[in-house]
Structure 1
Amino acid sequence: MEEILIISNYYPPEKGAAANRIEQLALKLQQNNYAVSVVCPLGNYPKGELFPEYKGKFSVTENRDNIIVKRLWIYPSVSKNILVRILSVLSFSTCLFGYLLFRRTPKKVVVQSPPLLLSFISVFVLSLKKKKIILNISDLWPLAAIELKAVKAGSWSHKVSLFMERFLYKKASVIIGQSEEIIAHVKTIFPEKRTFLYRNFPDHKSDSFALKTIENEPVKLFFAGLLGIAQGVFELCQQIDLKDLNIELHLFGDGAEKGAIESLITDSKNQKIFYHGMMDRKVLHETLKTFDIALVPLKTRIYGSVPSKIFEYSALGFPVLYFGGGEGENIVAENQLGWVASVGNFAALNQKLQEISKLSKTDLANLKQGVFDRATSAFDLDTQIQHLIEKGVF
């Protein structure tokens, strides 16, 4: 059985799309007769503090579903201070540097990027050891950092990041990107590089449609995920107008904006927004069975980014109200998955909500079934993995 190592900054029991995505990749490779191991930090995300089972430990080795997971020490933080965030990434990267340099590693290694510093250190050591490096790019950094105004264009940190980005692309044996825009960007720098599209398809498909549409209830719109700066859920809650609409907005998740959102809901006279906290993924999916529409927002259009929630919730049968711009708009429109409102245009978003509010429960039930059928045929993780294996990516 061929060995393969995955290096990631996130892995379950941590929550969120990044951890789920890497676990799905690990499990699919394992199902295709690879002996998979993962190196990641001690569990701490999204709260930025070590989970109770990892406190006081420098490293932990676990067996999760026959995948060996090696967790290394990290100074956890979700601080908005960029220096503190860099210190957190450096703490794990330093441990990872020593681990990769002195420990035996398989011939094939998947490196997740971003974080850029983490992937740079990984690729640097692995290139010295002449490993096959499969670079898995989920977002384009530093480009995304510039668009989010986390880094100033032309600054010292921007120039260093650009150097690391080029180094990664140059040294990678093959690159898999999670959007067409990512692939196109890599090709502008290294046109000859072997690249493949690898979408964030979910692995929870069912043979039968499981959602329920309940009569005599408002339309239940929901957001489930990271309540971070990039998603802009706090501003959305401030701008969304549900006053005279037959719609409720339900929020699930955790992150930097959690406190502000809770305060807004407590202080607001708008009784149609509800916050339910963080839930385990399976519990969340069970809870959502009587909900109606998935809201997928981004604060700004980020080149290369395609939210995995588009695929995850449409595969369950939820029509999507997409408010993020970019390639995601095309995916929703081309596959007839729901509605698109121009990113940052709250007037357009509220107009879409007025349209949705007029739908009957029969209309919603038909929409759900249609979305489920289209997503089932279009977003198949097994087919995608098989294609990449046949092309010699892994």
Structure 2
Amino acid sequence: MKDILIVTNYFPPETGAASNRISHLAEGLQKRYFNVSVITPLPNYPKGKIFDDYKDVFRFSSTENNIQIHRLWVYASNSKNKFLRLFSMLSYSLSLIWFFITNKIPKTVIIQSPPLVVAFTSTLFLKFKNRKLILNVSDLWPLAGLELGAFKKNFAYRLLEKIEKFNYEKADLVLGQSEEILNHIKSILPNKNTFLYRNYPKIITPEINSKSSSNNKIKLVYAGLLGVAQGIHKLCQELDVSNIEFHIYGDGAERAQIENFIKINKEIPIYYHGELSRNELHKEIPTYDITIIPLLNRIYGSVPSKIFEYAKLGIPIIYFGGGEGENIVTENKLGWVVKVGDYANLNHVISSIDKTELSSLKHLIKKTADTKFDFDLQFDGLINKHFYLL
């Protein structure tokens, strides 16, 4: 068995797309007879606090599903203060350096990016030790931060651009979750070895729910991070709920605002159900008619993994996020696309949906997803093409 190490900032029991993505990657390698180990911080995302089961330890190692996991000390924080967030990343970077010095490192290492600084630390140190590096890029930083308003084009931003380029240069292979990411990398390094690696889920999907609710209202659902970028609070304010119910699952920075909005507007059919585990959501989501994937602003390079996950569950999607995701939804007939920020058109699209046609649409979407968004088929393609690196 070949040894391979994965360096990531997110891993179960943490929730979210990043954690799921790396977990599937590790399990995919392990099932193909690789001896997989993972380095990750002590669990703290998304609340920015170390989980109760891992408090008061500096390092926690375990074997889960035949994967060896090393959880290292981190100064956990989800503060909006940039310096505290930077210190959090640097603390994990220091833990990584200590681990690299005191442990035997496999010849091949997969590094998750972002966070950019953590990826830089790993790339710099491990390339010096002559390891083969595979960089898994899920979002473009610092460009995404600039589009979200987190950065300005100043000295710090230019420094991050240099770090980004360094990471790409030193990687033997770059995996990108979107065509936009790969195009961006090629614009910097035209000859860089890249591979399109979508965030296809590895899940057991339930049967399509063909039952319709007793009333004529469409049951719309959102499940995920309740952050500023998703804009669920604004969505609650802008939705025309005369012919729909809107159901919300998740947690994040906007949770209190959403709960307060619902409390004040008790007469409107918007419901918050708290946070569920991923397995619980997979049972709950298919009971709804349609789902929505929103972003307040289009982020270049970003393709929400929810597109593939919801398609696998056979639920029609209203995509309200712009960018490459629009093409995926349109080309594969997964639902409807609405221009980012156009709430009037969003309400028009929802009002025009024929509820009687949703059952047949669900079956078509699931059939498409099972054919085109196959995790194992994509994974085997990666292994076969780049086996020399692994």
Give the TM-score category using the shorter length.
Answer: over 0.9
Give the corresponding residue for 2:177. Answer: 178
CA shift at 1:13, angstroms? 0.4
> TM-score w.r.t. structure 1 length?
0.96
Distance 1:11 1:350 in 2: 37
Map Cα deviations across residues 132-188 of structure 1 (whole Å, 9 max, x no partner): 1000000000000000000012x1220111011010000001000000000000001
**Matched residue pairs, number?**
387
Give the corresponding residue for 1:337. Answer: 334
The amino acid across from 1:192 in the alignment is N
Percentage identity across aligned positions?
49
Give the corresponding residue for 2:348. Answer: 351
> TM-score w.r.t. structure 2 length?
0.97
Q: What are the within-5 Å matches in structure 2 for residues 85-96 of structure 1?
A: 85-96=85-96
Distance 2:197 2:299 in 1: 18
Distance 1:347 1:173 in 2: 47
Distance 1:86 1:212 in 2: 48
User: Is it true that 1:371 corresponds to 2:369 in the alignment?
Assistant: no
* Greater shift in the superposed pair: 285-294 or 22-31: 285-294
CA shift at 1:269, angstroms? 4.4
Distance 1:321 1:195 in 2: 30
Contact 1:209 1:372 in 2 (8 A): no
Map Cα deviations across residues 111-134 of structure 1 (whole Å, 9 max, x no partner): 000000110101011110111100
Contact 2:314 2:366 in 1 (8 A): yes
CA shift at 1:205, angstroms? 4.5
CA shift at 1:270, angstroms? 4.7
Q: What are the within-5 Å matches in structure 2 for residues 59-70 of structure 1?
A: 59-70=59-70
Give the corresponding residue for 2:252. Answer: 255
Give the corresponding residue for 2:53. Answer: 53
Q: What are the within-5 Å matches in structure 2 for residues 229-308 of structure 1?
A: 229-242=228-241, 244-245=242-243, 247-308=244-305
Contact 2:14 2:46 in 1 (8 A): yes
* Greater shift in the superposed pair: 38-47 or 223-232: 223-232
Map Cα deviations across residues 26-73 of structure 1 (whole Å, 9 max, x no partner): 001111111111100001111111111011111100111111110001
Task: Label 1:50 to 1:212 Cα distance change in 2 as closer, same or farther (>3 A).
Answer: farther
Give the corresponding residue for 1:6. Answer: 6
The amino acid across from 2:211 in the alignment is T
Contact 2:286 2:315 in 1 (8 A): no
Distance 1:79 1:239 in 2: 28
Unaligned runs of 5+ in 2: none
Contact 1:7 1:40 in 2 (8 A): yes
Secondary structure at 2:352 match in 1: helix
Give the corresponding residue for 2:105. Answer: 105
Contact 1:11 1:43 in 2 (8 A): yes
Contact 2:26 2:67 in 1 (8 A): yes
Unaligned runs of 5+ in 1: none
Contact 1:322 1:339 in 2 (8 A): yes
Distance 2:101 2:162 in 1: 22
The amino acid across from 2:179 in the alignment is E
Task: Label 1:8 to 1:209 Cα distance change in 2 as closer, same or farther (>3 A).
Answer: same
Map Cα deviations across residues 227-254 of structure 1 (whole Å, 9 max, x no partner): 1122121221222221x21x11111111
Distance 1:213 1:378 in 2: 26
Contact 1:230 1:298 in 2 (8 A): yes
Distance 2:324 2:306 in 1: 13
Distance 1:340 1:215 in 2: 24
Contact 1:212 1:291 in 2 (8 A): no
* Greater shift in the superposed pair: 15-24 or 232-241: 232-241
Give the corresponding residue for 1:125. Answer: 125
Q: What are the within-5 Å matches in structure 2 for residues 162-201 of structure 1?
A: 162-201=161-200
Q: For the aligned residues, what is the CA RMSD?
A: 1.2
Map Cα deviations across residues 320-344 of structure 1 (whole Å, 9 max, x no partner): 1000000000000000000000011
Q: What are the within-5 Å matches in structure 2 for residues 70-85 of structure 1?
A: 70-85=70-85
Secondary structure at 1:134 match in 2: strand
Map Cα deviations across residues 67-126 of structure 1 (whole Å, 9 max, x no partner): 111000111111111111111111111111221233211111110000001101010111
Distance 2:218 2:85 in 1: 39
Secondary structure at 1:266 match in 2: helix
Give the corresponding residue for 2:148. Answer: 148
Secondary structure at 2:174 match in 1: strand
Distance 1:281 1:95 in 2: 29
Contact 1:39 1:70 in 2 (8 A): yes
CA shift at 1:319, angstroms? 0.6
Give the corresponding residue for 1:327. Answer: 324
Distance 2:64 2:254 in 1: 31
